[in-house]
């Protein structure tokens, strides 16, 4: 058993794809036409995930006023997603150069080096380095 996908509500499919694929380095797994469950309006089934990962993000374009209000605030201002990388320093530098907005400076925690960043919608993520070696 594993968590296959997590939905992330976005304003625009193509802008979100550019952010996750071009900026963060995720893979575009699927981009297919689909229909909404409400009123059968057209939408897209857009799935991205980090290279080698099992769990993916379903990029869901906001449909209606309630969903539009959730864009960028899916976790009520808290960090809601966690991106673990093998080389924290190079990932951090690459993301800074690509224009990713970080909230504060990197810091060391018992679970690894961490820096909070915002995705294209404004949701908070933790960029996490490797956990410390057991000693």
- Using one digit for the tens of pLDDT, what is the confidence trace for 55-78? 999 999 998 899 999 999 999 999
Quick one: 59 and 105 in the same domain? no
- Domain containing residue 37: 1-71
CA distances from 134 to 2, 8, 93, 109 (A): 26, 34, 27, 14
The verdict on 41 and 91 lying in the same domain is no
pLDDT value at residue 36: 67
Residues 5, 37, single domain; the answer is: yes
Q: Is 89 in the same domain as 133?
A: yes
- Positions in the chain short of pLDDT 70: 36-39, 134-135
44 within 8 A of 32, measured Cβ to Cβ: yes
Please state the pTM of the whole predicted model: 0.90
The domain boundary, picked from 71, 99, 125, lies at 71
Q: Extract the tokens encoding 88.
A: 């924290």
Total structural domains within the chain:
2
């Amino acid at each position: 058993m594993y968590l296959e996908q997590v939905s992330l509500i976005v304003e625009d499919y193509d802008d979100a794809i550019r952010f996750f694929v071009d900026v963060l380095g995720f893979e575009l797994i699927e981009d297919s036409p689909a229909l909404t469950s409400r009123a059968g309006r057209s939408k897209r089934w857009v799935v991205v995930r980090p290279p080698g990962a099992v769990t993916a993000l379903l990029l869901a374009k906001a449909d209606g006023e309630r969903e539009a209000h959730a864009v960028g605030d899916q976790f009520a201002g808290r960090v809601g997603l966690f991106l673990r990388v093998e080389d924290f320093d190079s990932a951090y530098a690459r993301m800074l150069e690509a224009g990713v907005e970080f909230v504060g400076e990197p810091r060391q925690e018992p679970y690894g080096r961490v820096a909070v960043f915002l995705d294209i919608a404004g949701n908070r993520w933790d960029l996490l380095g490797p956990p410390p070696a057991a000693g």
